[in-house]
Structure 1
């Protein structure tokens, strides 16, 4: 297809129809839990280095998880050379963007980016969890000098070298922009402008994380398990939400990282264990896993208010640390004539059951009361 010129501000119907295919293709790539295609990834490394004006690395080393990759980062030596993540990813992206912007109107580019590369919350959550859990391994200036030497170039390199895993390595979230360029290349015909991205595209489709240095490029495999809830938060009710081939895992409940035992040994969640948990978010997860019904039945919360809409329960730990739920009765009876009780978690600062029930509908208590009266 013919590429749009800077004066064209709209895509054809055929070009627009291709959005869905490319969005689905790259969503599948970012969420893939298949083993890395190592041959394709290594070809991608060599092409990406060349596109960035670098000699291909003498060594390509594989790891089974980002944790293993971060462990190797602190052992990098002078023989590995400088970290080149900026040149390989960020600078190359800017150069290609400049070439593409000279050919395609900015409104078209914005439309392509939003349609092909919508934010993938699950992939972003997995990347954030990885970065939080790997040791940053920040090198001191002395450590950098030991690697680079005491020469003037070595001192300059030590002053400017990136520090920390998140700055030295690149994960799926750092390459998420490639989907739009794949579309521009294949649908709008911008092959010459996007040719330098072929290496990064091969890498993106074949690997998890990369830690690139001048003479050594280290690669980490993709996760073999990545689970989320309906809102694309990291979540798994019976095991790890994120797991890598070497067994490194992260457990999460509705987007909150929790200790392994809370997910896999629910019987250990007791009132005492909940009270001993200092992390407010983890404590709330423990109550959800136990279920608010059982938490209230075991005496974990106190009845603070009751009216025709339900019962408000609350548990206070500190002045700004509390949990609350409103107990309501289903208006529709069960086949045996009984009515089910539901517990809805609500903000702890609500004072009445009516106010709590109204909050679950996004309403103020007065408006909810008038609605109930009318119906």
Structure 2
């Protein structure tokens, strides 16, 4: 519950707040894991609770189940509404049914007043990444993770075609049998002049897939093997001798 609510949902909600209020220091639904822990101890009779402690725990459990964040002051308690939309998917590799925020074509979390956050497989992204990813917008994006998510949304093949990337070299990946290494000239907007090495992850992701990803490499890399070797700090000829990479 802590992984799902506190690490996942609470982080996305914080992104919706105005900058001066970008932190939330009080309690709410994201505290269900903490309240639930003490409630389970009480129900199992593992620890004795005094009357005041039980009363406080009951109040916190009711609040966690009925409202969003809340702030208690001396004479006033401010309560926030819970989201009206919240979409999740199973977290890859989770052992306790952990969830992460995600929706493929709309906001993953939204409030009745229209405040919302877009999340791509657990990564908080700008609205355009989910609703209208384009090569032009990807080219202007400086955040590597956001750029990765946007390219995943349209697919590398579509991105390469739309961005009109120039293929420099293509060869089989000796450390990853059956997969290709592709070297492209990088488009404008990716920072310093360079190239992009398109490769396939050498090991399985937590969800069992093999991710295809692009790595910025120096402009001087003449071949895909040299570019791949550079990412490991070795020469292209040494990389060509790899039996298996991970």
Native 8 Å contact 2:70 2:79 kept in 1: yes
Native 8 Å contact 2:103 2:120 kept in 1: yes
Structure 1 residues not aligned, in runs of 5+: 1-26, 28-118, 139-163, 329-341, 359-364
Q: CA deviation at 1:321?
A: 8.4
Q: After superposition, what is the alpha-carbon deviation per residue over 1:346-370, rounded to whole angstroms, capped at 9, x for unaligned?
A: 4334966568899xxxxxx969956
Number of the residue aligned with 2:138: 274
Measured in 1, the distance between the counterparts of 2:108 and 2:194 equals 27
Which residues of 2 match residues 122-133 of structure 1 at below 5 A?
Answer: 123-133=6-16
Q: CA deviation at 1:290?
A: 1.7
Which residues of 2 match residues 228-247 of structure 1 at below 5 A?
Answer: 228-231=88-91, 232-247=99-114
Please say if 1:180 is aligned against 2:19.
no
Please say if 1:347 is aligned against 2:215.
yes
* TM-score for the superposition, normalised by structure 2: 0.67
Which residues of 2 match residues 70-219 of structure 1 at below 5 A?
Answer: 119-121=2-4, 123-137=6-20, 166-167=24-25, 169-174=26-31, 176-193=33-50, 194-195=53-54, 196-219=56-79
Q: After superposition, what is the alpha-carbon deviation per residue over 1:75-108, rounded to whole angstroms, capped at 9, x for unaligned?
A: xxxxxxxxxxxxxxxxxxxxxxxxxxxxxxxxxx
Structure 2 residues not aligned, in runs of 5+: 92-98, 174-179, 202-209, 230-235
Greater percentage in helix: 1
Look up the SS of the partner of 1:298 in the other structure: helix
Number of the residue aligned with 1:256: 123
Rg larger for: 1
* TM-score for the superposition, normalised by structure 1: 0.46
Q: CA deviation at 1:199?
A: 1.2
Native 8 Å contact 1:224 1:244 kept in 2: yes
Please say if 1:290 is aligned against 2:154.
yes
Measured in 2, the distance between the counterparts of 1:322 and 1:230 equals 35
Number of the residue aligned with 2:181: 311
Q: CA deviation at 1:216?
A: 1.2
Structure with the bigger RCO (C-alpha within 8 Å, sep 6+) is 1
Native 8 Å contact 1:326 1:344 kept in 2: yes
Look up the SS of the partner of 1:252 in the other structure: strand
Structure 2 counterpart of 1:326, from 175, 178, 199? 199
Tell me the number of residue pairs that the alignment of Structure 1 and Structure 2 aligns: 209
Look up the SS of the partner of 2:130 in the other structure: helix
Look up the SS of the partner of 1:296 in the other structure: helix
Measured in 2, the distance between the counterparts of 1:240 and 1:321 equals 34
Look up the SS of the partner of 1:133 in the other structure: coil
Look up the SS of the partner of 1:198 in the other structure: helix
Native 8 Å contact 2:87 2:109 kept in 1: yes
The verdict on how the C-alpha distance between 1:370 and 1:256 changes in structure 2, with shifts beyond 3 A counting, is closer
Q: After superposition, what is the alpha-carbon deviation per residue over 1:160-194, rounded to whole angstroms, capped at 9, x for unaligned?
A: xxxx7523x32333453122211110113534244
